[in-house]
Amino acid sequence: MRATFSRVAAVARAIKSVLNCAGFCGKVGGMLARIHVTLREGVLDPQGKTVHHALNDLGYDEVRGVTIGKYLEIKLDSASKEEAEIRVREMCKQLLANTVIESFRFTLVPTD
């Protein structure tokens, strides 16, 4: 009896998960946010400088500079592109980028 109950609960959780992912509960589709975070102009980038020198030492003399940054992809459920833009901008400002020394840019791509 107990095993049957846990199976029913597991099936219920799976169905709920599928329904949420399928766009129910007011969601019309998914979005993929592609986010680039880099240091602001004028902020020293010792990691980029190290890579730049290493590339020059390896014979890649055409390399004039290197900037190191972060690239993130975040999958979202969103009611609209406008809502997704607002939420991603909030995420970047609050957690993903240190806005004192970093800047960010992103694009949204529909996943459906």
- DSSP track, 85-105: HHHHHHHIIIII--TTTEEEE
* Cβ atoms 78, 6 nearer than 8 A: no
Q: Is the pTM of this model over 0.75?
A: no
Extents of the domains making up the chain: 27-110
Superfamily covering domain 27-110? Phosphoribosylformylglycinamidine synthase subunit PurS (3.30.1280.10)
Rounded Cα gap, residues 11 and 3, in angstroms = 12
Rounded CA separation 41/47 (Å): 15
Determine the Cα–Cα distance for residues 35 and 70; give it in Å rounded to an integer: 8
Each of the 112 residues of the chain gets a pLDDT tens digit; together they read 455 556 556 555 554 554 454 444 455 579 999 999 999 999 999 999 999 999 999 999 999 999 999 999 999 997 799 999 999 999 999 999 999 999 999 999 999 7
